Amino acid sequence: DLTTDRTALLAFRSAVGGRTFIWNTSTTSPCNWAGIQCENNRVTVLRLPASALSGTLPMNTISNLTRLRTLSLRLNRLSGPLPYDISKCVELRNVYIQGNFFSGPVTFLSGLHSLVRLNLADNNFSGNIPSAFNNLTRLRTLLVQKNQFSGSLPELKFPNLEQFNVSFNKLNESIPRSLGAMPVSAFIGNSLCGKPLNVCPGNNMTEPAIATAGIEVGNSSNKKKKLSGGAIAGIAIGSIAVFFILLSILFVLCRAKSGKKMKSFDVQTIKKQETEVTEEKQIEKPENEGVSNGNSVATQAVLSSGDENWVENGAKKLVFFGDYNKTFDVEDLLRASAVVLGKGTFGTAYKAVLEIGTIVAVKRLRDVTISERECKEKIEIVGAMNHENLVPLRAYYFSKEEKLLVFDYMPMGSLSALLHGSKGSGRTPLNWEIRSSIALGIASGIEYLHSQVPNISHGNIKSSNVLLTKSYEARVSDFGLANLVGPPSSPTRVAGYRAPEVTDPRKVSQKADVYSFGVLLLELLTGKAPTHALLNEEGVDLPRWAQSVVREEWPSEVFDIELLRYQTAEEEMVQLLQLAIDCTAQYPDNRPSMTEITKQIEELRRSTSHDKHEHSDLTNATE
């Protein structure tokens, strides 16, 4: 059983992924394929995605799999009629066979009452879209675009339908009322008419609409024809007037703003900025304490430490690392205007804008419990780290009263804010390509860390410690700081990322980092924030939830709704999900190393981009 036998599943995956899989028509049981061992023929998931399978399938094999729940043959080169024998697999919930050359009518669905997802897109299926689809009352996805289906669309009523697409077929006549609420894109490339496309001939004087890719343009130009000259002139004058009003408002605003800029130390502006940042951060870190007033880093320090000698302490020097451009000293830093970014386990982080224009992130460590020498040694180790996926520590300042760390400022903020920040505020959802490259970046950063000093670990891997550059490259932050300060007084968000064997947050291992990384992967895939019972927050224990869903059902149930549109990447997502589950194994020894993880992510990204190319080449060739 591939869903419970991990070894068999891994063997099967690597065989298929590595393209060494040979379809042997003489074998009748998939348990014999690629050396897989299984008992009682109880295969529930059969996935042969994006591999080099071609020709027709020996379908008697599949029809033997009467416990099959998922059949995925996407992006192969299979052809011929899809044998109706799968109608014996009455437990089938998911059928993904898009991107092949299957042809002939669809006659294999009648008994599949459990079907939830049906994706037949990008094939050569023909004939009518059967009204027998209506028996599939649990259907949530019906994708049959880019086939040769003809005739009229039957009245289809699916109470739970979420995704529907019949575009680019040879369908004609009117769209049934039950489908009128679907988007235009679901119907284009046919000769259909009626809502949401143009009105059908006979219903009014407009011409029958030929649904083409340019349907929306066609529609609007038709409508425009009906507008009188006066109306058009009115609209044009109105638009110009609105444009000029907006322009004037913009001009006034710009002038007002530049007026403020002249007084570079306008406290109100800083305060306002800070409030905005604070609000933003509070979404991410509700446990943040109230942040202090906007002001310079120095003033912040004096305010909170009550240290009258702060400026004298400033006589000490900033210690820079590597060949970083030493264009500022500690006085510049202390004079810089500062905005609180957030309060973390080790202290408060500020964004500091230096007078010379450089922007840096400054972390004020609090509760440093170790000796100065030891502390400096540890900071020196952090400063020596040099990897494109780590936030570089540029300098530090150490005095009895103040310990400051100066990092590069990461303009896009944290992954946590991007994934869970308020969705209505113009936040662009992270697409799949970015998410998988972030996953790879984080893995590479941690792998580098683990390779630098024997047994070194990060100890605090979580999405708020992954910062992003303008081009969304991931940079891991907060490494090497775990041993500088005392334990947090209250449970923090890190609890949801903590491996079960970790009882003292300061005693972590590389395998505990792997666990936290696994949770982070799950967060990227599901869009859900991990939480812990201790925090009494709403949320999910991500590893347990993901494992249970994968055991029970098909993993696509788990993915972030924002990822559902990337159907061609589902295979990659499933593989990453599997990796996340491996990383969050209960026993540390069962977790892969960061080196293995990085390799796997690189491979799965490479193989899918290769498959995409191969498949689009193939599609182009056949078109």
Residues found near ligand ATP in the complex (CB under 6 A) = 281, 284-285, 341-342, 344-346, 349, 361, 363, 391, 407-410, 413-414, 460, 464-465, 467, 477-478, 492, 494
Nearer to ligand ATP, 60 or 422 (CB): 422
Give rounded-to-5 percent helix, strand, coil for the chain: 40, 15, 45
* Of residues 288, 303, 294, the one with CA closest to residue 343: 288
Tokens describing residue 329: 């000293």
Residues in Cβ contact with 562 at an 8 Å cutoff, skipping those fewer than 6 apart = 429, 430, 527
Nearer to ligand ATP, 16 or 481 (CB): 481
Nearer to ligand ATP, 341 or 542 (CB): 341
Residue 580 and residue 597 in contact, taking contact as beta carbons nearer than 8 Å: no
Taking the complex as a whole, the smallest distance from the CB of residue 410 to ligand ATP amounts, in Å, to 4
Residue at token pair 């994968």: 550
Taking the complex as a whole, the smallest distance from the CB of residue 519 to ligand ATP amounts, in Å, to 14
Nearer to ligand ATP, 141 or 465 (CB): 465
Q: What is the CA radius of gyration of the chain?
A: 30
Cα 198 to the chain's mean position, in Å?
37
> Does 363 appear as a known binding residue?
yes
DSSP letters, 309-346, are THHHHTTSPPEE-TT------HHHHHHSEEEEEEE-SS
Nearer to ligand ATP, 89 or 385 (CB): 385
Nearer to ligand ATP, 146 or 281 (CB): 281
Residue 202 and residue 223 in contact, taking contact as beta carbons nearer than 8 Å: no
Q: Residue number with the shortest CB distance to ligand ATP?
A: 344
Nearer to ligand ATP, 330 or 362 (CB): 362
Taking the complex as a whole, the smallest distance from the CB of residue 506 to ligand ATP amounts, in Å, to 13
Nearer to ligand ATP, 31 or 476 (CB): 476
Taking the complex as a whole, the smallest distance from the CB of residue 278 to ligand ATP amounts, in Å, to 11
Q: For residue 113, give the 3-state DSSP assignment.
A: coil
The verdict on whether omega for the bond into residue 58 sits within 30 degrees of 0, i.e. cis, is: no
Nearer to ligand ATP, 294 or 344 (CB): 344
Q: Across the beta sheet with 170-174, what order do the strands follow?
A: 54-55, 77-81, 101-104, 124-127, 148-152, 170-174, 191-193
> Which residue type is seen at 26?
S
Sequence-distant contacts of 309-316: CB under 8 A, at least 24 apart: 309/401, 310/334, 310/401, 310/402, 313/399, 313/400, 313/401, 313/402, 316/397, 316/398, 316/399
Buried b (16+ CB within 10 A) or exposed e, 245-271: eeeeeeeeeeeeeeeeeeeeeeeebbe
Nearer to ligand ATP, 448 or 479 (CB): 479
Taking the complex as a whole, the smallest distance from the CB of residue 504 to ligand ATP amounts, in Å, to 16
Tokens describing residue 466: 């992954």
Tokens describing residue 442: 């984080």
Taking the complex as a whole, the smallest distance from the CB of residue 223 to ligand ATP amounts, in Å, to 48
Question: CA-to-CA distance for 233 and 231, rounded, in angstroms?
Answer: 5
Sequence-ordered strand ranges (E) for 263-326:
295-296, 319-320
Nearer to ligand ATP, 106 or 341 (CB): 341
Nearer to ligand ATP, 416 or 578 (CB): 416
Q: How many Cα atoms sit within 13 Å of 414 on the Cβ side? A: 26
* Of residues 328, 464, 345, 457, the one with CA closest to residue 397: 328
Taking the complex as a whole, the smallest distance from the CB of residue 349 to ligand ATP amounts, in Å, to 4
CB-count burial class (<10 Å; 0-12, 13-18, 19+) for 371? exposed
Taking the complex as a whole, the smallest distance from the CB of residue 367 to ligand ATP amounts, in Å, to 12
Taking the complex as a whole, the smallest distance from the CB of residue 28 to ligand ATP amounts, in Å, to 56
DSSP letters, 34-101, are GG---STT---EEE-TTS--EE---HHHHHT-TT--EEE-TTSEEEEE--GGGGG-TT--EEE--SSE
Taking the complex as a whole, the smallest distance from the CB of residue 391 to ligand ATP amounts, in Å, to 5
Q: How far apart are the first and last CA of the chain?
A: 39
Taking the complex as a whole, the smallest distance from the CB of residue 318 to ligand ATP amounts, in Å, to 16
Q: Please give the torsion angle defined by the CA atoms of residues 315, 318, 324 and 328, in that order, rounded to the nearest 10 degrees.
A: -40
Mark the binding-site residues, compressed into ranges. 363
Mark the binding-site residues for ATP, compressed into ranges. 363
